[in-house]
Structures are given as structure tokens and as C-alpha cells.
Amino acid sequence: MTVSTHPNALRAELLALFESVRARTQRLVEPLEPEDMVVQTMPDVSPTKWHLAHTTWFFETLVLERSGRPYERFDDRYPKLFNSYYRSLGDPFPRSERGHLSRPTAADIQAYRRHVDAALAKLLDEAPDAVVAAVAPVVVIGINHEEQHQELLLMDIGHVLAQNPLAPTYRRSAYAPLRQLTPLEWLAFEGGRVAIGAEGDGFTYDNERPRHELLLAPFEIASRAVTVGEFAEFIADGGYRRAELWLADGWDLVQREGWDAPLYWRGASTHAMTLGGERELDPAEPVTHVSYFEADAFATWAGARLPTEAEWEHAAVARGRKGIFLEAEAFHPRPATRTGELEQAFGDVWEWTASPYGPYPGYRPFEGELGEYNGKFMVNQLVLRGGSCVTPERHARATYRNFYYPHQRWMFSGIRLAR
């Protein structure tokens, strides 16, 4: 996302981007009942109405209230409720209790959104050029932030609905199972001195920078993601019962939680809960909702390993960004269909890498409060790459670094092998 530097073009571009991202959020919640928007089924999950309010709070607090222009706050009690984790902005309401709040209602939060939308449109329309130029970078971050929360909102509502014995459907997908497996091929790369990371003017997060060189040994990477059918073989071969395949922390977790399949698989593991309701699994589709521990154990079982994020980026950077994204409205990964090239690198499923999430050499956080956006999470998490079927397409890029704890699996995470 690169925006113009010409003042009038900038106003128009920002407003168009802003309105489009806000409108899409609204469309995403259309299938939901007010009751759906309240529930928090685990501390990692936030209620839908919290996402609606938090993304709005971001624009209110970091744009409108920092703009130097008059702005009347919608409700003085909201900032504490809808600050996610910015300690520099005060003590947030405890994350694990977000599901205890029936008020403000979904309707209240829609009014909050309209209030802030109008104020931001007014600001972009009426403020002096200098003000617009000053807030533009934060507006752009706010837009990207809301895109991230569009994905989180869908992950979270997916978890909420999947816990419900009534197996409610978010939205039925128009796609039918393919059931035709595309063979897995190994694509070879020479490695050597390569550069990864972002540079230039386009928007990126701070954690994608600076672009820097490193050495890669020659490697091979799989042409597509691991499928449901392949993962079912791992299970059938005792994958969840063989300690030697697992990292020690993973094995402890498997024992403690009694895991024996990816999250959302049901019964005899031929079906799973999805955003499209409970449906039969297609053996050709990418396995998803697996933790790092499961991805690593599968790779060990398969005699392979996970790629590093540098290998992944080096292999993927030449591909155009094409794949199954949120816009496809599949809400679930789709089988690969082609051979001979790196399929599914973008979209479908986030791909676990072997790389712990940390700063690139010379990393500098965003300035001010936004310095808390990414840097403070740089321990204990692993990098995932490529985007998923619920990522907005514009949000994905080869340098993008997503990150989760190794035990988490409610995101659309999958596996690509390397060796």
C-alpha cells in the first residue's frame, strides 16, 4: 500500500482506503446474531464486538485525538475497554474478561463506528494539508491494523461457533470438494548470499525491515502445502502417540491436552468444523489449524523439516501474490491444482517456518506508542508466512511476518516442507 504525496490525491486515496476497509468489516459481521458477537471461548479469542470497537478505538485514539484538530470523544469509558495492549496508553481491561462484557451492545458499537467514521472523513476532508500529511502514516497503519483484525475476527468467530454443539454456520462456501490430489514436487534453490526483508516506500510493518543479506545453504522446498490426506496418514501411523517425533514441549502438550488430530476435526476425523459449518474433509485440501508442534512432528515423520523464513521468502518472492484470499469467500483453504511451481505460497494457509520471531539486524520499532505494535512480542513465537484464505489479499506480501506461539492453532495455519 503506497499512498500519494500530493495533498489532494492523498486525501482522496486515504479516504477511499479507509472507507473500503471499514465497509468490508461491516460486511463480515452481517451473518452474525448479536449473541454471537459477545462470546469469548478462550483467552486468545476476542468477541466480535470487541474487534469492531478496538479497530475504531485505534483511529479515535491514534489519529483523531493526536491530530491537533477538535474531536469529541464518543464515550470516555471506551478507551480503557478497547485498548488491546498498549501500556503507554494506560492499563487495558483484562483480555481474558472481554467476554464478560454485555455492554456496550453491538448496536452501541455500531454507533461508535459511525461516529468515528464521520469524524475521520471530516478530518481528511477539512484539515489543513500539513495535518493530513502528518496523520497519513498512522491512518495507513490503522487500515492495515483493521485488515489484520478482519482475519482475527473470522478466526475468533470460527472458534466460537466450533465450540457450539449446534454446529452453527458462519457462511456456506460456494466451493465443492475437488478430491483430486496434485503431486508434491521438490523445488531446488541454490541459496548463497541472498537478501530478505522490505525496503522502499510502500507500507510494511516495522518487523519486516531492514532488508538485509544472509547466507543460505542450498535447499529444496515442497511445491505445495501438506494435505489433509497426508496428515491423516501421519495420524494413522501413530503420529500423535510416538514421542520420538515430537519436540519435548510439544509432547508434554499432546499428553496434557489429549490431542489426536488438528483442531476442529470431529469424530473419526473425516469431518471438521469450518466457517461453512461441519463438513466432510477433502483429502486434497491443505491441512489447517495445526500447531507448530504438529507441523514439526509431521515434518520429522516425513523425513523433512520446516523451511526457515529466509528460505521461504527467497523461494516465494518471485511468485506473484496469487492464491485463495478472503476476497474468494471460500473461508477455507482449497486444494492445489498445478505442479512445477511454488503453489499456495500466498493465501490458503499460513505456513509455519522454523524461524523464531525476532528482530532483523538493525530493527527499529515504529515511533511512539506504536513501538509496542510488534517488537514486544519478539520471544517465544514462531514466524508464519504467506497469508491465508481469510487474509485480505492486499494485506499479504512476500516479506510479511506473522507470528504465533507454538501451541496455538486456531488460526488458519498449515505446513510446507523443506529439506
Give the residue from 415, 345, 327, 412 showing the smallest Cα distance to 27. 327
| Interface of this chain with a copy of itself, residues 133 to 162, rule: CB under 8 A | 160-161
Pairing of strands 350-356, 413-414: parallel
Nearest-5° Cα angle at 407, 252 to 370: 145
Q: For a copy of itself, how many residues bind (rule: CB under 8 A)?
A: 64
In whole angstroms, give the CA distance from residue 118 to residue 52. 16
* x-marked contacts with a copy of itself along 7-36 as a string, rule CB under 8 A: --------------------------xxxx
Q: Which is nearer to a copy of itself, 199 or 213 (CB)?
A: 213
In whole angstroms, give the CA distance from residue 330 to residue 267. 24
* x-marked contacts with a copy of itself along 224-253 as a string, rule CB under 8 A: -------------------xx-xxxxxx--
CA distances from 84 to 50, 105, 158, 260, 290 (A): 10, 18, 20, 33, 26
DSSP E strands, 310-381 = 350-356
Give min distance, CB of 130 to a copy of itself, in A.
29
Residue 39 found at the interface with a copy of itself (CB under 8 A): yes
Q: Which is nearer to a copy of itself, 6 or 364 (CB)?
A: 364
Rg over CA atoms, the chain: 22
| Interface of this chain with a copy of itself, residues 248 to 277, rule: CB under 8 A | 248-251
Residue 189 found at the interface with a copy of itself (CB under 8 A): no
Can you list the alpha helix ranges (DSSP code H) found in 224-319?
228-236, 248-257, 292-301, 309-316
Give min distance, CB of 216 to a copy of itself, in A.
8
- Give phi and psi for 110, each to the nearest 5: -65, -40
Residue 379 found at the interface with a copy of itself (CB under 8 A): yes
Give min distance, CB of 111 to a copy of itself, in A.
14
Q: Which is nearer to a copy of itself, 313 or 343 (CB)?
A: 313
Q: Which is nearer to a copy of itself, 77 or 122 (CB)?
A: 77
Q: Are 309 and 355 in contact (CB under 8 A)?
A: yes
List Cβ neighbours of 149 (8 Å cut-off, separation of 6 or more). Answer: 25, 51, 54, 55
Q: Which is nearer to a copy of itself, 246 or 259 (CB)?
A: 246
Q: In this structure, what C-alpha cell is assigned to residue 159?
A: 472458534
The single residue among 163, 180, 270, 337 that binds a copy of itself, judged by CB under 8 A, is 163
- Give phi and psi for 236, each to the nearest 5: -65, -25
| Site residues (vs a copy of itself, CB under 8 A) | 33-39, 41, 49, 77, 80-81, 85, 87-88, 93, 97, 99-106, 160-161, 163-166, 168, 193, 212-215, 217, 243-244, 246-251, 292-293, 296, 354, 356, 358-359, 361-362, 371-372, 376-380, 382, 406
